Structure 1
Amino acid sequence: MSIYIQRDTSFTESERLVNDLGAKSFLKFWTWPNLFRDQEGGKEICDLIVVFGNDILLISNKEIEFKSEKGELVGWKRWYRDAITKSFKQTKGAERWIRSYADRLFVDKKCTTKFPINIDLSNAKFHHILVTHGLENILEEKLGYGSLRFNNDINLGDTEPYRIGEINNEPFVHVFTEKTLKDCLEHFDTANDFIEYLKLRENFFLTDKDVSVNAEGDLITLWYESYDETTEERNIFSHSEMRKDSINLKYPTFDKFIDRQDFKLRKKLDENSYFWDTLIESFSFHILNGTSVANNNWTEIYEIEEKIRNMAFANRFQRRILGDAFVEMYYSFKNKRGTRQLLVDGLEQAYLFFCLPISKDYGTLEKYREVRKMMLGDYAVIYKLRYPNISSLVMIGYASARDDSILDTSFFEEGNDFGYIDFSNWSEEDNQQAKLVLEEYERHNLVGKNKITEMTAEEFKPTYKKTRS
């Protein structure tokens, strides 16, 4: 059964915008609009739910007109009631249902197709996100940017127009306008990146200090300016601004900040990273559409989801490295068999790419694919034998490029192999079997030194690599 077809896609314009933004950043395997619970003939649980490992994003999407005929404060209170209070009620209800009945979520209104992703409630972190529409023009007119203002005053409520205080601290509530959601997902456009931003945002407003933010763009700016060279990590709490007794973020115009040349260079450097997104989407589509071939290492979708998620866990910089490595290999091994073993800074698993030319010698395309899949598995155990410290491995197999090949949509139409191995149970018996595989490949001159490639990247600089034996 195709779970893609079962999804409810009858969106309003604002719902479609939020769903498209979510699917672009989180990809379709983990982005689920309009899930239903088996009550009242199929009752919608939330406008959009993203389930990515232990992180569950509950997104309420409301388009509420701001009416100020009876005064700005009265208009604000009414808008706040409909856009904030009622939306939060929806996401709270969604969390309550999932915590009580995680096995009673469905992708269709008739509640015939169960939600296919496993939810581990023992480690779940729920993120409540309210997306508002209908206020941007007024915010642009009043404040100069289509963002609400924020502080961490738990008592603020609806008393000050256009400012959002701390709605709740457990669960914490994030509020975005259409404009600020676009801005955030422009800069944090992978599951890893956006979830990390949400956690940073929550920690920022839950600090013991009094904090206020003039616009969402100010917090994004602070994030970019908070790279700690000593730890090679981003930590806004190490920024000089955070050492003040009270914090009031009021940066220069955000649009000017991101118009810098280094930001434009970064976009250029990230181009190949989106190939990795498309590769994940291709595998996901066939899994959810029931067209995945030779799925002999999984029976339920949630089992393969955990493996595919290892591909999607890479953030945008890491996907740039993976994309650059794959694209370079694709064009370097035209009409040739080849492997590439890869380590990427910050990712626990290693990567193995393998290409094999299509040849009439295999008889049929099906036989060729069987051989390619078998060889991919063989190279994986050889890789583990040579580099014992590898704990897990993502594997990609594909048909070698031909003379006139370019890496476009036709690549995905040819069918590619995906595999994931967790080596935590690797035994001495496995080691001995791997030695036999290596000996066989060496006899047939099918394996060389297979140096491992270590690649890294900086935010505004090209990727670079080094190899080691």
Structure 2
Amino acid sequence: MTRAEELLAELCERSFLSLWSYPSPYKDQGRKSLLADGKELCDLLVIFDNHVVIFSSKECAYKSNDNAILNWTRWYRSAVADSVKQLYGAEHWLRTQPHKVYLDKTCQHRLPVPLPTDVDMRVHRIAVAHGASQACYDAHGGTGALLIDSRIIGSAHSSSEAVPFAIGQINPEKGFVHVLDDTTLFTVLQSLDTISDFINYLHKKEELFQRPNFAVLASGEDDLLAYYLRNIDKQIDQHYFPVKEGSKGLGLRKGFWDDFINSPQFQRKREADRVSYSWDKLIEHVWERTRKKRMKIPQEQWQEESILRLLAKESRINRRFLSKAFIEVIKRSMYEQRSVRVIEPIRDDRKAYVFMLLREQDDLSESYYKIRQEMLQAYCLVVKYLFYNQVDYIVGIAAEGGGYDVITTYDFVVRFGGSWEEGEKEQAEYFHQNGFLQEMRRTHWEEKEYPSE
């Protein structure tokens, strides 16, 4: 891989885990013999539920001479237009030949996860264009990010009347393309460092640009991102791009991003988010255990794989809430033999959590882990019984009680809602009647993304 491709793969794996990121996948198009190599499909492929994110990354030096438009159009064709061509080609292949995508150039190892069907597939195309940031900064200042002007469409990007360093809609008829550069690649992936937050941003941005008779103007992707992050739709509790009714456009002044990250609200958010990375460490623990099991156990038998996906789907704000709840149970376990907390579905997520910490006693040392696992299973089963119409998944996490210093192992359980297996409901009723969550106390805990103090 080129340095630009390595950087892209590293950033995405750090944000989304390699569970969803596949650097430099291949297709067997034109491969005439078993000894021949396949063709690179794209620079990075990310698969998350029915969302497929295709990255194409190009690094091209920006030449400087007296003809500014010529400099721009040459760079644009090499760094952006060529990437876009690869993106559309990769999308066509994924939709028509989903079973012919490989991890290696010899086309021996197929993609380990199924792609969504053509009807269900939601494709997001991202061209990463390196090499123009310094020239853009010299011309316009700011952060060196490419300008955004949605009124520029198709061939207007590279015509004799092109606006240097400005990106609009590359080819609306074939699908929207996000264009990131040296500056904004880092900004976007570091600010949206969970797969759910990243996908939501792409989706909302695409909707914004596809509004009919509507112009989007910004001095860079970072300013657009800042506008998105600072606005929350309170009805659905999600970030969005607010637009006044009847408005014909959205214009963002230069420096919007700098003002945002230097604001007291952002500083309080960043401080509040620190605790959320405890959830990331828990994911890393499961991920390491899953990777070790790969060598010994077939993929269809990985219990951790389904757990890992459920944990990693949580947004940053959800991770903050869940981390606080788990830490609270750890602290309580210093004074209680058994500490349990049930997290009901957050918003419309239809996923419940059971956190349980159990102290180890000397007379139970040999059977402690078996008992802990069985108790966690029982708690998850009772939660399924109590919230049957509200949950699709129940995730159970157990560890040693007694405080942070004693935790060395975890148990994980996933139960699926929607139907009862034979005897399961009766078992859940039995556990509940015999003390499991019989006196469950319900509390309300509100988590604001931007704390007021």
Which residue among 219, 228, 235 is the counterpart of 1:223? 228
Structure 1 partner of 2:415: 421
Map 1:341-360; keep pairs closer than 5 Å: 341-343=342-344, 344-360=346-362
Map 1:311-326; keep pairs closer than 5 Å: 311-326=311-326
Separation of aligned partners in 2, 1:27 and 1:227: 27
Does 2:62 align with 1:66?
yes
Separation of aligned partners in 2, 1:190 and 1:259: 22
Structure 1 partner of 2:371: 371
Structure 1 partner of 2:171: 168
Separation of aligned partners in 1, 2:134 and 2:377: 56
Q: 1:19 to 1:86 in 2, by over 3 A?
A: same
Does 2:271 align with 1:268?
yes
Superposition deviation, residue 232 in structure 1? 4.5
Superposition deviation, residue 85 in structure 1? 1.2
Corresponding letter in the other structure for 1:337: R
Corresponding letter in the other structure for 1:149: L
Which residue among 41, 64, 73 is the counterpart of 2:37? 41
Map 1:29-428; keep pairs closer than 5 Å: 29-38=19-28, 39=31, 40-69=36-65, 71-121=67-117, 122-144=119-141, 145-152=143-150, 153-155=152-154, 156-158=156-158, 159-169=162-172, 170-208=174-212, 209-229=214-234, 232-237=237-242, 239-240=243-244, 243-290=246-293, 299=300, 305=305, 307-334=307-334, 336-343=337-344, 344-362=346-364, 364=366, 367-402=367-402, 405=405, 414-426=408-420
Classify the secondary structure of the residue corresponding to 1:28: coil
Residue correspondences, number: 436
1:65-117 CA deviation, whole Å, 9 max, x = no partner?
A: 00123622222111111111111122222222222222232333444433222
Separation of aligned partners in 1, 2:443 and 2:388: 15
Is 342-351 or 173-182 further displaced after alignment?
342-351
Separation of aligned partners in 2, 1:436 and 1:230: 39
Q: 1:243 to 1:306 in 2, by over 3 A?
A: farther
Separation of aligned partners in 1, 2:349 and 2:286: 20
Classify the secondary structure of the residue corresponding to 2:280: helix
Q: 1:12 to 1:89 in 2, by over 3 A?
A: same
1:407-464 CA deviation, whole Å, 9 max, x = no partner?
A: xxxx5xx44222222210137943222122334x43xxx665233454331111289x
Separation of aligned partners in 1, 2:397 and 2:198: 29
Separation of aligned partners in 2, 1:460 and 1:381: 35
Superposition deviation, residue 251 in structure 1? 4.7
Please list every run of 5 or more consecutive structure 1 residues that lacks an aligned counterpart in the other structure: 1-10, 464-469
Contact in 2 for aligned 1:213/1:249 (Cα 8 Å): yes
CA RMSD in angstroms comes to: 2.9
Q: Answer 1 or 2: higher relative contact order, Cα 8 Å, separation at least 6.
A: 1
Contact in 2 for aligned 1:393/1:421 (Cα 8 Å): yes
Classify the secondary structure of the residue corresponding to 2:94: helix
Separation of aligned partners in 1, 2:237 and 2:100: 43
Superposition deviation, residue 228 in structure 1? 4.0
1:34-65 CA deviation, whole Å, 9 max, x = no partner?
A: 22234442432211111111111101111110
Please list every run of 5 or more consecutive structure 2 residues that lacks an aligned counterpart in the other structure: none
Superposition deviation, residue 304 in structure 1? 6.3
Separation of aligned partners in 2, 1:198 and 1:289: 33
Separation of aligned partners in 2, 1:447 and 1:217: 47
Q: TM-score, normalised by structure 1?
A: 0.84
1:346-396 CA deviation, whole Å, 9 max, x = no partner?
A: 4221111122234454454xx543332222111111222333433233323
1:235-288 CA deviation, whole Å, 9 max, x = no partner?
A: 424x34x74334332254421321112211111111121121222232233324
Separation of aligned partners in 1, 2:452 and 2:108: 48
Separation of aligned partners in 2, 1:147 and 1:396: 44
Corresponding letter in the other structure for 2:149: N
1:288-328 CA deviation, whole Å, 9 max, x = no partner?
A: 432699x89x7256x86555322222211111101111122
Separation of aligned partners in 2, 1:229 and 1:100: 40
Contact in 2 for aligned 1:28/1:281 (Cα 8 Å): no
Corresponding letter in the other structure for 1:166: Q
Corresponding letter in the other structure for 1:436: Y
Classify the secondary structure of the residue corresponding to 1:272: helix
